[in-house]
């Protein structure tokens, strides 16, 4: 099996499993929506501060709910002995990592795609936003968060503390992603040009590339027996 076929196989396994059971996606979506609604109580409805804080609310909702999916992606394999099976496959270890990254990114982006329109309605955002730019930032930001998250989830799932440990490990490391996405989502929501946030996009790209590379190199040390 070629390298990319290996990645695709892991990816399809996860996606198929998820679409059959919908366990992660349904909890992720419900949680995401709950966060959006809860944050609504923090602000005076209709106050001009809403536009100012909405990027932060949006990314808090995305990353917290994304965390649910990411933390499950290895723990359920370990519980059912699935990881042993995957490790027996005659493919490079990093294919498992990339397959999982793509799977987690798919799930998070799905949640984002569904939550965002609801968010726009709830928070009464003006319609003149830069949608294409937002898509780019959402994809890059999600990829970066998931790149580190998937690696650290493989670590935390193998410890005694499990799910409790993952947010403590992940969020400090993911700070650049959070800052960059929040700070570039703001101007894009106001309909500003992508050039306005070019430096943030570059930062996201650098983060994504660095951590996809570093994680794929170190991943084999986490799952080795």
| First-to-final CA distance of the chain | 22
Burial of 148 (0-12, 13-18, 19+ CB in 10 A): buried
Residues 93-132: x where in contact with another protein by CB under 8 A, - otherwise, as a string: ----------------------------------------
Q: Which stretch binds another protein (CB under 8 A): 55-63, 67-75, 107-115, 161-169?
A: 161-169
**Contacts for 15 with CB less than 8 Å, ≥ 6 apart:** 103, 106
Contact indicator for 167, 148 with CB cutoff of 8 Å:
no
For Cα atoms 8, 13, 19, give the angle at the middle one, nearest 5 degrees. Answer: 120
Nearest to 1 by CA among 79, 66, 65, 88: 88
Q: Which of 169, 189, 201, 212 binds another protein (CB under 8 A)?
A: 169
Assigned token pair, 58: 């949006």
Assigned token pair, 215: 């994680």
CA dihedral 185, 206, 31, 98 (to 10 degrees): 140
Q: Which of 158, 163, 194, 205 binds another protein (CB under 8 A)?
A: 158
Assigned token pair, 38: 């809860």
By beta-carbon proximity to another protein, the closer residue of 114 and 205 is: 205
Per CB under 8 A, 13 contacts another protein: no
By beta-carbon proximity to another protein, the closer residue of 35 and 177 is: 177
Q: Which of 51, 165, 194, 205 binds another protein (CB under 8 A)?
A: 165
Per CB under 8 A, 40 contacts another protein: no
Assigned token pair, 179: 């800052």
By beta-carbon proximity to another protein, the closer residue of 120 and 210 is: 210
Length of the chain: 225
Q: Which of 109, 180, 188, 201 binds another protein (CB under 8 A)?
A: 180
Cβ of residue 174: shortest distance to another protein, in angstroms? 9
Cβ of residue 203: shortest distance to another protein, in angstroms? 6
Per CB under 8 A, 17 contacts another protein: no
What residues numbered 130-149 form the site for another protein, per CB under 8 A?
148
Total of chain residues touching another protein, rule CB under 8 A: 31
**Contacts for 14 with CB less than 8 Å, ≥ 6 apart:** 73, 99, 100, 103
Per CB under 8 A, 172 contacts another protein: yes
The runs of H, that is alpha helices, within 123-197 are: 131-156, 165-173, 175-189
Contacts with another protein, residue ranges (CB under 8 A)? 148, 151-152, 155, 158-161, 165, 168-169, 172-173, 175-176, 179-180, 183, 199-200, 203, 206-207, 210-211, 214-215, 218, 221-222, 224
């Amino acid at each position: 099996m070629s390298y990319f076929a290996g990645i695709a196989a892991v990816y399809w396994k996860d996606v198929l499993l998820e679409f059959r059971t919908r366990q992660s996606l349904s909890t992720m979506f419900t949680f995401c929506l709950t966060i959006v609604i809860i944050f609504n109580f923090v602000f005076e409805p209709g106050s001009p501060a809403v536009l100012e804080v909405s990027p932060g609310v949006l990314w808090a909702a995305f990353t917290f709910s994304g965390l649910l999916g990411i933390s499950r992606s290895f723990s359920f394999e370990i519980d059912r002995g699935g990881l042993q099976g995957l490790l027996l496959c005659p493919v490079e270890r990093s294919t498992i990592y990339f397959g999982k990254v793509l799977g987690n990114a798919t799930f998070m982006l799905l949640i984002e795609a569904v939550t965002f329109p609801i968010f726009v309605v709830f928070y009464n955002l003006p319609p003149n936003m830069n949608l294409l730019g937002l898509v780019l930032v959402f994809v890059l930001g999600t990829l970066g968060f998931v790149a580190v998250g998937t690696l650290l989830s493989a670590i935390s799932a193998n410890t005694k503390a499990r799910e409790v440990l993952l947010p403590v490990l992940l969020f400090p490391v993911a700070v650049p992603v959070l800052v960059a996405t929040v700070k570039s989502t703001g101007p894009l929501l106001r309909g500003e040009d992508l050039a306005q946030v070019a430096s943030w996009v570059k930062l996201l790209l650098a983060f994504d590339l660095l951590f996809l590379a570093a994680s794929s190199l170190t991943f084999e040390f986490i799952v080795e027996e």
